[in-house]
Structure 1
Amino acid sequence: MQAIIRGMGNTFTSIIQRVMPDAYIFCLLLTFVAMLGAMFITGKSLFEVVDMWGNGFWGILVFSMQSSLALVGGYVLSSAPPFKKVLGMIAGLPRTHGQAIVLATLCSLGLWIFHWGVGAVATGIICLEIARQAAKKGIKLHYPLLVAGSYVGTVAWHNGISGASQLLIATENHFLAEKIGIIPISQTIFSSGNLMIAIALIILTPILTYMMIPEEKDYVSPATDQLGEFSTGEENFDAGQKGTLAYFLNNSPLVPILITLVGVTFLYHWFYKWNGAFDINTFIVIMLMASIILHWRMSSYIKCLKHAVKTAIPIMLQFQFYGGILGILVASGLVAVIANFFVAISTPLTFPVLAFIGAGIVNFFVPSGGGQWIVQGSIIVESAQQLGVSIPRAVTAFANGDAWTNLLQPFWTLPLLAFAGLKIRDIMGYCAVILVFSFIVIALGLMFAPFPG
């Protein structure tokens, strides 16, 4: 069996290295695909499609800012000294190549399930740390597989506590509230069915990455410059002259403590006084407050913040292009055509799986859980109600589809690849193997695992 899995990894990698363009080029190509689809499938003119693209380009700014803040918060939290110390201790555990691959995969799963922003960034830090410590110990590694293992945890991110669609429908006055009401995360993220799928992925994924380890003669070792020390930008920050008020404010824990108290007080009132929901906005506040207090000094926080913004900029820019794609899909009705196709061939038993596949296809064009839910949510909900499928099961099907094809959508690999110094085509073949086998696990869970309603 290992020979088969290893062969699949090698074959997929060989193919993808020849055909996969850069992530930004991939985004622009998808733009043209969406334009052509709108013209030939829905009958829109070129000028109409361009107008749709322009409206969508700016229509996603709110969610783009939310996602960017979440990523920045994840980056700064990941680079906080206590967090990095823990990551360093974990990275030193492996004694063999296989242990390193399994550890990278498990860390990826854990971090992505905890929060997609932390997963997108912290995986790069711990991947590099594993590679550095392996080099010091003389452990030979197949570096592209190690980096791929550090990314494949994305397949389970929507099963975790930052699942965008689940958090959005738990938010008061969300856009589908009149149809389905407020659905707490106890019925989605913490439902028995979702937990069963998450556990199955946590077991399966490390086994697959381990089985893809090539023969030692085929190892690709990391280059020396790829293992450079992670910089926090300390050399570029002016903390002020010692003994001055500026120096005190920049380096005293007083400011982080006070602002964290403000954030904690707000969260207390939000949850216990105002009965607010645990949604994407409150999660961002928690991330930002946690990163500030863990850095302990604003000088340390600001140093890392500068690098966090640099990491987030490519994603921020690509978000706007994906917003243009989203505008085309929605205004032309193309997304409805895709979704309704899968609904039309569905039964109550098969609907969750077909909704899962449909969400996976749309995710190529809109790689944003929340943004995609805004596009597909009403179609998923109305179809589930017509077929008698519970809303929590339907939402979980959508969420898993959005996460599933992240394994082939290069958008969220950008932070990790920036750390690792690799190209998307170096790792995507291994991710494709996980895509194939995770489909089986998720599909069975969506059909037969228990969900509320």
Structure 2
Amino acid sequence: MSTSKDLKTVSVESVHRPRLIGRVVYLFEQVVPDPFALSIGLTLLVVVLAAIAAPDASIPTILTSWYDGVFAILGFTAQMVLMLVTGFVVADAPVVRRGLSRLASRVTTPTHAVLLVFPVVAVAAWLNWALGLVVAAFLSREIGRRTRVDFGWLVAASFSAWSVCNSGLSSPIPLSQATHHNALNFVDKITGHVVPLSDTIFAPFVLVPTILVVVVMAVIFVLMHPNGGDIQAFLESTPNESVNHHARGRRASPAARMERSFVGVAFMLMMGVGYLVVTWSRKGFALDINNTILIFLLIGLALRGSPVAYADAIREGAKQTGSMLLQYPVYGGIMGVMTGTGLVGVFVKGFVAVANDVTLPVWSFLSSLIITFLVPSAGGHWAVQGPFVVPAALSLHASVARTAMGVAMAENVSNMLQPFWAVPIVAMAGIRLQRVMGYTAITFLVSLVIYTTALLVVP
């Protein structure tokens, strides 16, 4: 005889899957390879293009440029890894999880779920993309555990709310352009100047569509919730427990007391906050990649309360970083080949030939939609596209900030069909990717229209 859980599982898996979801699943599971394999294929494509079209494409130049690019981006790779794990630690802190649980306990209907998920996840993602991913997964699980909603729909709603992250404070594209001597600050390399965040993520042409996507998609998701027997509810799974890396037998030792003491945390907080106060008092308030990481590091330390608790949390967050450690150096190699062989100049001439100072940001946006499918990480993507869109903007006297953010905003859009960032959220939520991507295809279409319009008409 089947148990009630068995019956529930059978009923969930036997529900007819929408045709759109089936097509998206086929596209990403049967046609598109693993992102790391894809990055290798893109490297091959760029090498072939350089050999055919670049003015300085000798074999020694290609090989040397590739090698230099791989290792030139390692610092940026470490910055992005720290951005992820420090955001993860904040979202996974017990006090934050208890807060999410209390919020979820108020949800009784699908509409309530949408009204909670979209603002909470969007704000978290805007603050830090890693924080947003973890909040989206945890909040979806807490709501799904308590309320009868379609769980695939709920996770898709959370992922759609997360999509605005590349318009926020942790987006590597505007942050790198605001940071002097950053490996990916192509504006600084050419002009010696940086692009402040007031010209990018805080500009109306970015803020307006970001808010519109959250509001409009919240309404659409309320209308898209399945009815009756089509609802596929959340199925509880055994949660993964954090591993205690410190032996219980040494809890009374001097080393163990030091590990659990708040003194070390207090010292780090004093150093970090002191640095920010001194720097901002001298130079004015400004955010870049490094001080954004520092802020989340300090928040995580304060929430965890002891060095050993924070170290254990970092180990858990580091499990999510493997793909980034693999892919960023490969994208750096692509950037090296493009710049070292002169292939960048070929692309710049192509953009200059078809665009003007008004349309270049839109061309940057549209080309970014395609490149995102090949290079799904914003930092790696910028390493490929930045070297030719920034010189094109300077040549045409177009807005560099708008051109750069065209790339970032297209990341928001394409991520709804590119499974690279959906994988960690569905893994943390405990759901199959197939049940999510069909809904996010709608987010792709709606946000495509909103962001394109904003680039053209919003000042």
Counterpart for residue 110 of structure 2: 97
Taking a change above 3 Å as real, the CA distance of residues 322 and 187 of structure 1, as seen in their structure-2 partners, is: closer
User: Partners in 1 of 2:345 and 2:228 — Cα distance?
Assistant: 49
2:239 to 229, 247, 250: 229
Counterpart for residue 6 of structure 1: none
1:402 to 394, 400, 411: 411
Deviation at residue 283 of structure 1 after TM alignment: 0.8
Helix, strand or coil for the counterpart of 1:311? coil
Counterpart for residue 196 of structure 2: 184
Q: Does 1:301 align with 2:310?
A: yes
Helix, strand or coil for the counterpart of 1:315? helix
Counterpart for residue 268 of structure 1: 277
Counterparts of 1:39-438 in structure 2 under 5 Å?
A: 39=48, 43=52, 56-134=69-147, 139=148, 141-173=149-181, 174-177=185-188, 178-179=190-191, 181-225=193-237, 228-229=238-239, 231-234=241-244, 236-238=245-247, 241-273=250-282, 277-327=286-336, 341-438=350-447
User: Partners in 1 of 2:21 and 2:389 — Cα distance?
Assistant: 34
Deviation at residue 239 of structure 1 after TM alignment: 5.6
Counterpart for residue 3 of structure 1: none
Deviation at residue 126 of structure 1 after TM alignment: 1.7
Deviation at residue 339 of structure 1 after TM alignment: 6.3
Deviation at residue 118 of structure 1 after TM alignment: 1.0
Q: Give the TM-score normalised by the residue count of structure 1.
A: 0.85
Contact 1:155 1:407 in 2 (8 A): yes
2:272 counterpart letter in structure 1: G
1:80 counterpart letter in structure 2: A
User: Partners in 1 of 2:437 and 2:129 — Cα distance?
Assistant: 19
Helix, strand or coil for the counterpart of 1:183? coil
Contact 1:161 1:189 in 2 (8 A): yes
Taking a change above 3 Å as real, the CA distance of residues 20 and 370 of structure 1, as seen in their structure-2 partners, is: closer
2:300 counterpart letter in structure 1: S
User: Partners in 1 of 2:352 and 2:233 — Cα distance?
Assistant: 47
Q: Give the TM-score normalised by the residue count of structure 2.
A: 0.84
User: Partners in 2 of 1:439 and 1:349 — Cα distance?
Assistant: 18
User: Partners in 2 of 1:185 and 1:395 — Cα distance?
Assistant: 12
1:98 counterpart letter in structure 2: T
Taking a change above 3 Å as real, the CA distance of residues 127 and 26 of structure 1, as seen in their structure-2 partners, is: same
User: Partners in 2 of 1:373 and 1:314 — Cα distance?
Assistant: 17
Contact 1:143 1:220 in 2 (8 A): yes
User: Partners in 1 of 2:89 and 2:226 — Cα distance?
Assistant: 35
Deviation at residue 373 of structure 1 after TM alignment: 3.0
What percentage of residue pairs aligned between the two structures are identical? Answer: 26
User: Partners in 2 of 1:303 and 1:133 — Cα distance?
Assistant: 29
Helix, strand or coil for the counterpart of 1:270? helix
1:197-229 CA-to-partner distances (Å, cap 9, x unmatched) read 22111211212222322233222223332xx33
Deviation at residue 50 of structure 1 after TM alignment: 7.8
1:169 counterpart letter in structure 2: Q
1:303-346 CA-to-partner distances (Å, cap 9, x unmatched) read 32221112222432343444455555555666666665455322
2:93 counterpart letter in structure 1: A
1:366-404 CA-to-partner distances (Å, cap 9, x unmatched) read 333334334433432332344343233222222212332
Deviation at residue 295 of structure 1 after TM alignment: 0.7
Contact 1:176 1:378 in 2 (8 A): no
Taking a change above 3 Å as real, the CA distance of residues 381 and 340 of structure 1, as seen in their structure-2 partners, is: same
Contact 1:53 1:325 in 2 (8 A): yes
Helix, strand or coil for the counterpart of 1:21? helix
User: Partners in 2 of 1:215 and 1:47 — Cα distance?
Assistant: 60
Contact 1:338 1:358 in 2 (8 A): no
Helix, strand or coil for the counterpart of 2:179? coil
Deviation at residue 145 of structure 1 after TM alignment: 1.7
Helix, strand or coil for the counterpart of 1:203? helix
User: Partners in 2 of 1:336 and 1:142 — Cα distance?
Assistant: 50
User: Partners in 1 of 2:380 and 2:448 — Cα distance?
Assistant: 23
Deviation at residue 282 of structure 1 after TM alignment: 1.0
User: Partners in 2 of 1:29 and 1:167 — Cα distance?
Assistant: 26
2:143 counterpart letter in structure 1: I
2:241 counterpart letter in structure 1: S
Deviation at residue 438 of structure 1 after TM alignment: 0.6
User: Partners in 2 of 1:422 and 1:331 — Cα distance?
Assistant: 43
Contact 2:422 2:433 in 1 (8 A): yes
Indicate the larger mover: 281-290 or 333-342: 333-342
Contact 1:408 1:432 in 2 (8 A): yes
